[in-house]
Amino acid sequence: MRTAFYISDGTAITSEVFGHALLSLFPMQFNHKTIPFVETEEQANEVVREIAESFAETGQRPLVFYTVVNMDVRRIISRSVGINYNFLDQFVAPLEKVLGVPSKPEKHRTHSIHETTYDIRIEAVNYALANDDGSNIKDYHEADIILCGVSRSGKTPTSLYLALQYGIKAANYPFTEEDMGDILKLPPALRRFKQKLFGLTIDAQRLHQIRSERRANSRYASLPQCRMELREVENLYRKEKIPFLNSTKYSIEEISAKILATTGLQRRKY
């Protein structure tokens, strides 16, 4: 199996994102290896040795995706036996020509504590944790969005992802069996903030599988119970005209992107 290296003198997040995006286009398996904070020539030479060892073990030249600001470090990595892709070289020079301004590369600029949205994102994460699972409805006036849905439909991980990645204050509220009654109605705590609501749903069979891993052979996990709860919440979404999404076939990243596209919420990432 061919190895893909993601190397940077920072967090390596950028090289990972670019590299993974490119490799996802190919129906192949790769051995992924990320090496962040390669900041000295000694560290760069060690990385080159690792790349050479991978080549010797597999007989296939590794793919090397890297974003390195330091010219000396970059030069060393470029001489590896791997097939090297330097993202900065590919894009910086053309951008300088278009913008008419020379670049000023600095280590750790892309993903550092100094970025303007850092405190916003930390505050949003704290908000998501404090307002998880309907535990703190008194602070809903601060929410940018309130995710609702049945238990295990993806509300908590989506709330945290929206907070951590985009600085969005996302609360979430679970519809439980106790809420159902004869007909599920929108609780007063949510009706006040109806314009902030976004619903999540999921296929009954998938929900049954997820709940069974948590509470096997329980009423909570039974397929009829899952079907009943999902039917009730989806009817509520339609009746109250609450936008909603079936999360079954989507990753957390995709769910979050679809929510942002639907609601128009501002990304506080940069």
**Full residue range of the structural domain in which residue 156 is found:** 118-263
| Residue % of the chain over a pLDDT of 90 | 74
Q: Are 76 and 152 part of one and the same domain?
A: no
Domain assignment present for residue 109? The answer is no
Say whether both 151 and 246 belong to one domain.
yes
Residue 139 lies in a domain: yes
The alpha helices in the chain, defined as continuous H runs, are: 13-23, 41-58, 71-78, 87-99, 118-130, 155-166, 177-180, 188-191, 204-214, 223-240, 252-263
> Average per-residue pLDDT in the chain?
91
Instruction: Check whether residue 178 and residue 146 sit in a common domain.
Output: yes
pLDDT of residue 182: 74
> Could you give the count of Cα atoms lying within 13 Å of 76 in the half-sphere of its Cβ?
22
Query: pLDDT tens digits, residue range 8-51?
Result: 998 888 899 899 999 999 999 999 999 999 999 999 999 999 99
* Total structural domains within the chain: 2
Q: Is residue 111 part of a domain?
A: no
| Contacts of the segment 185-194: beta carbons below 8 A, 24+ positions apart | 185/236, 186/236, 186/240, 189/134, 189/137, 189/140, 190/140, 190/146, 190/148, 192/140, 193/140, 193/141, 193/143, 193/146, 194/240, 194/242
Q: Which residue has the tokens 């899952």?
A: 226
> What pTM was estimated for this model as a whole?
0.75
195 is a domain residue: yes
pLDDT, tens digit (0-9, with 9 covering 90-100), for 104-147: 766 555 555 556 678 898 999 999 999 999 988 999 999 999 99
Angle at 168 between CA 166 and CA 171, to 5 degrees: 140
- Whether residues 124 and 93 share a domain: the answer is no
243 in a structural domain: yes
Same domain, 162 and 85: no
In this structure, the answer to whether residues 61 and 153 fall within a common structural domain is no
If we measure between CA atoms, which residue out of 159, 147, 151 comes closest to residue 212? 151
Same domain, 58 and 161: no
